[in-house]
Structure 1
Amino acid sequence: MKKLATVEEFDLLTQADKVVFFFTADWCGDCTFIKPVMPEIVESYPEVQFIEVDRDRFIDLCGELAIFGIPSFVAFEKGQEVGRFVSKDRKTKEEIEAFIETL
C-alpha cells in the first residue's frame, strides 16, 4: 500500500476513480491490530487504490476531514467523497470489507 507523501498528492488522488485513504498512526493499538490484514484487503479489491495516511504527519488534513478517531477510512471517486468508515472503535477485516462493498 502506498503512503501519502504530500497534501498536494492527496488532492490529486481524490480525483482518481476509486481511492480509499487509510488514516493510521504508529502508536495506535487498533491500527496495529488491523495492519496485518490490510494487504489481504488491498489484494481483494484491485479496482480500488488504497493510500495510507499518517495521522501525525497530516494532522491538519485530518482536522479538515474530521478524522478524530483512527484507524479510519475515507473513500473518494472523481473528486467526491463517496463514503467513510470513521469511528474511535477497533475495526475488523469483515467491517472494512463491508464498507468497501458499499462503494
Structure 2
Amino acid sequence: MEKLQSVQQFTQLANSENVIFMFTAGWCPDCRVIDPIMPDIEEKFSDYTFVSVDRDEFIDLCIEKDIYGIPSFLGFREGDEQGRFVSRDRKTQEEIESFISNLSK
C-alpha cells in the first residue's frame, strides 16, 4: 500500500481514479490488527488504489474529512466520495470487504 505524501497528492488521487484511503497511525493497535489482511483485500479489489494516510502527519486533512477514529476508510471515484467506513471500532476483513463491495461504481 502506498503512503500519502502530501495533501496535494490526496486531492490528485481522489479526483483521478478509484481510490481507498486508509487512515491509520503507528501507535494504533486496531490498525496493526488489520495490517496483515490488507494485502489480501488489495489483491481482491485490484481495481482500487489503496493509500495509507498517517493520521498524525495529516491531522488537518483528518479534521477536514471528519475522520476522528482510526482505522477508517474513505472511498473516492473521480472526485466524488463514494463511501466511508469511519469509526473507532476494530474492523474485520469481512467488514472491510463488505464496505468496498458496496461502494458505488
TM-score calculated relative to the size of structure 2: 0.96
Identity %: 55
Partner of 1:56: 56
In 1, the alpha carbon distance for the partners of 2:72 and 2:41 equals: 15
Which deviations, in whole Å up to 9, do the C-alpha atoms of 1:44-101 show, x marking residues without a partner?
A: 1110110000000000000000000000000110001010000010000000000000
Partner of 1:70: 70
CA deviation string 1:12-71 (max 9, x = no partner): 000123100000000001001001100110011110110000000000000000000000
Give the residue type in structure 1 aligned to 2:93. Answer: K
Q: 1:102 matched to which residue of 2?
A: 102
Counterpart CA distance in 2 for 1:97 and 1:16 is 22
Superposition map of 1:37-48 within 5 A: 37-48=37-48
Cα separation, 2, equivalents of 1:35 and 1:56? 17
RMSD: 0.6
* Count of residue correspondences: 103
What one-letter code is carried by the residue in structure 2 that aligns with 1:101?
S
Q: Please give the alpha-carbon distance, in whole angstroms, between the structure 2 residues aligned to 1:50 and 1:16.
A: 13
What corresponds to 2:25 in structure 1?
25
Q: Secondary structure at the match of 1:46?
A: coil
Give, in whole Å, the separation in 2 of the partners of 1:46 and 1:16: 16
1: CA distance, partners of 2:31 / 2:16:
25
Q: Which runs of no fewer than 5 residues in structure 2 stay unpaired? A: none
* 3-state DSSP of counterpart to 1:83: strand
One-letter code aligned to 1:46: S
Corresponding residue of 2:89: 89
